[in-house]
Chain A
Amino acid sequence: MNFKKSLMTLAVGSLLASSTLYAETAYVSNEKDDTISIIDLDTMTVTDTIDVGERPRGIILSKDYSKLYICASDSDTVQVMDLATNSIIKELPSGEDPEQFALHPNNRHLYVSNEDDALVTIVDTETSEVLAQIDVGVEPEGMAVSPDGTMAVNTSETTNMVHWIDTEKHELVDNTLVDQRPRHVEFSKDSKLLWASAEIGATVSVIDTATRKIIKKITFEIKGVHKDKVQPVGVKLSDDGRYAFVALGPANHVAVVNAKTYEVEDYILVGRRVWHMTFNEDQSLLLATNGISGDVSVIDVNKMKPIKTIKVGRYPWGVVVKP
């Protein structure tokens, strides 16, 4: 009896140790289920599903990985989930219909796009104070803050622009016209380039952040897929500067782009309507949400092959990984 108990304690102890030491955790927002799925990346299984606000879409982690910020679009709020307890500890004023957001490197200022109101709201996550609201184009969507912290950008889906916001003065400084229905924006690590996807234009524009002019437009062509179904949404750049991954929506593929030459090197077949992506800590894995099939594809980045599909909730939207 005693022996068995201590065995169990041992087992439990080692489990805990392994999970804190090794296991990475992925969080996935399920737009039509109002939940967050939690995935253990060691076992590649869903370990928990947490109820959150209505229509959760964009999600990001705080820089210290202690909190998860959730755009609960139909609840008109940004929820803050404490990752030690997996419970909602706070709601931030976000403006109406928050969709995507980005956290400034200062780990305090959250830039939120308000899709229904054509606004970007800047919120201080510590004081819950709204610092500014900036008018942008119709249906603001993608948000990013440059790694050097000087510039925030927002895309507006119906205005077809990238809007450049000075993060110190909280004001709009410039606009770059891109192709139809711009969605996601992603800065290169050195803040010198901005990658912007255009869903209906079927392109990814690479923009020089100094001149704010487009220097390259990348197009995609997949054998057996009609060109109108190629609809780029999520973009993810690898830290080593080698690759840009582009999720192509209803084309059900992720494009692998050489980030130096801008040539498309490969297309990886994933689930249906692939939208957003994230890397794990060492960037050996890429996770992609497939909205219509309701699952997450795990791609082995070295082999450029999908290795696992994990069923989550309905319409998975955003995904992040906590090391």
Chain B
Amino acid sequence: MFINNHRKNAIAITLTALLGSSHAYSDIEVDISYLQQEIDYGPVLSNILPEPEDAGFQGAKLAIKDSNTTGRFLKHKYQLQDFTSTDPQALIDKAKAQYEAGIRYFVVNTDAQTLRKFTEALGKDTLIFNAGSSADELRLHTCEANLFHTMPSRAMLADALAQWLKAKRLQKIFMITGATSDDKAFSRAFKRSAKRFGLSIVKEKDWSFDTDLRRTAQSEMPLFTQHRDYDVVFVADERGDFGEYVLYNTWLPRPVVGTQGLTPVAWHRVVEQYGAAQLQSRFEKNTKRWMNSKDYSAWAAVRSVAEAVTRTQTNDAETNKAYIKSDKFQLAGFKGRKLDFRGWNGQLRQTIPLVHPRSLVSMSPQDGFLHPTNELDTLGFDRKETDCTDTSK
């Protein structure tokens, strides 16, 4: 009881003290737009654990809250303007109106196609953060200087997994690919990784069955995965249609990796090292649910803007874009390393947790995978692999 009273007094005192602070900071207000596309991925067999509808938004919201606590001491104020729609055009129209109203910071949680429309519709004097799409082509061929990606690409996720397989000497891969274009994209990414790290794909199969595996997995899956030898089964089933039923049902008793089993992610509840436990508990307190990769990507995007504003002391978009691209920028992202953006394609460098639903198994890059400048660049597309030129200073 008395804690509360004291707290009130303390706050009153604190505010006066802030005004009397000896360092002069000027008032800055920063508006950040968060735009989310609701995407219907169609019906799936495994419907036990659907993704929360506000995945992404809650991460952005927490980052605003975190940034305002910091901002209080600097007289900086951050506000989130969020808008969600199933219609890509409605999102573009909203973004255009926000741009007209002076907003320059956009956190976008959409598919790749919609994202590209944003870069066309908005002025170059904006900062657009992709916090929704893992599409590799956005990192390879879309080289807009105002586009940043906080969501890891499929190539990064696949490399993280392939390094671990190599380190574990699980070399012979049985691949199963689902029917969607996303599944095919993830398989393509994995095949690139396999080649890069010297894994051999001994069998590739496409999943095209339409029986209800909830009842028949035990009889169908062993036959489907029949092959003379493999070390591990790789599954590409991003929406979780059939992949959950591969585990424990394979012809040979082998581990399952990919979109099910051991999974590379941007974020997961089981990440709790490096102070992550605090971020997780702040998130859980606000939302009563666990923080996922989309939440993390939106969080990292908003925090990147706020980190730049804190250091540059201005809300000028060009100044902050230059700062984010400079080697001075660093984001404390609870991933064991400082995070920054690749100069050539705007991808956030980050460690990738490899998780199963109840525990963290490993973090990539794995020890021993070396790189001349930054080990984090062993994950995803390196400078020379893309069409983009380095625009960082």
Contact = CB atoms under 8 A, between A and B. Distances in A.
Contacts of A170: 10, 13
Contacts of A212: 22-23
A117 B179 CA distance: 47
B21 A173 contact: yes
Interface string B321-350: 000000000111000111000000000000
Dominant SS among interface residues on chain B:
helix
Contact of B332 (A116, A158, A228): A158
A228 B337 contact: yes
A23 interface: no
Contact of B11 (A135, A157, A160, A176): A135
B85 interface: no
Contacts of B48: none
Contacts of B278: 115-116, 139, 157
Interface string A157-169: 1111101000001
Number of chain B interface residues as a range: 35 or more
Contacts of A294: none
Given A115-B278, A174-B22, A175-B23, A133 B6 contact: yes
A309 B275 CA distance: 26
Nearest to A228: B337
Contacts of B89: none
A134 B6 CA distance: 9
B17 A172 contact: yes
A2 to B, nearest CB: 61
Nearest to B18: A172
Contact of A200 (B14, B23, B285, B332): B332
B249 interface: no
Residue with the greatest number of chain B CB neighbours at <10 A, chosen from A97, A133, A157, A161: A133
A180 B338 contact: yes
B2 to A, nearest CB: 6
A259 interface: no
A180 B330 contact: yes
Given A93-B3, A173-B21, A181-B275, A137 B10 contact: no
A138 B66 contact: yes
B73 A133 contact: no
A132 B9 CA distance: 8
Contacts of A121: 3
Given A139-B275, A159-B69, A228 B9 contact: no
A171 B21 CA distance: 11
Interface residues on A, range: 35 or more
Contacts of B70: 137-138, 156, 158-161
Interface string A224-236: 0010110000000
Nearest to B275: A157
A177 B310 contact: yes
B282 interface: yes
A137 B13 contact: no
B84 interface: no
Contacts of B338: 180, 200-202, 228
B319 to A, nearest CB: 17
A142 interface: no
A118 interface: yes
Contacts of A118: 69
Interface string A167-196: 001111111110111000000000000000
Contacts, number: 108
Contacts of B330: 179-180, 200-201
A70 B9 CA distance: 27
A175 B332 CA distance: 19
B64 to A, nearest CB: 12
A86 to B, nearest CB: 29
A221 to B, nearest CB: 16
Most-contacted residue by chain A among B7, B72, B311 (CB, 10 A) = B7
Interface string B295-326: 00000000000000011000000000000000
B69 A226 contact: no
A158 B69 CA distance: 9
A155 to B, nearest CB: 12
Contacts of B331: 180
Contacts of A89: none
Interface in B9-43: 9-11, 13-14, 16-18, 20-23
B386 interface: no
Contacts of B66: 138, 158-159
**Most chain B CB within a 10 A radius of its CB, from A171, A212, A226:** A171
A116 B13 contact: no
Residue in B7, B72, B73, B74 whose Cβ sees the most chain A Cβ within 10 Å: B73
A156 B275 CA distance: 12
B281 A133 contact: no
Contacts of A180: 330-332, 338
Nearest to B330: A180
Contacts of A226: 375
Contacts of A172: 13-14, 17-18
A58 interface: no
12 contacts: A95-B3, A132-B13, A133-B10, A137-B69, A138-B70, A159-B70, A159-B73, A172-B17, A173-B20, A173-B21, A174-B23, A180-B331
Given A158-B66, A171-B17, A174-B22, 6 more contacts: A134-B14, A135-B10, A156-B69, A157-B275, A157-B332, A175-B74
Interface of A: 93, 95, 97, 115-116, 118-119, 121, 129-135, 137-139, 156-161, 163, 169-177, 179-181, 199-202, 212, 226, 228-229, 250
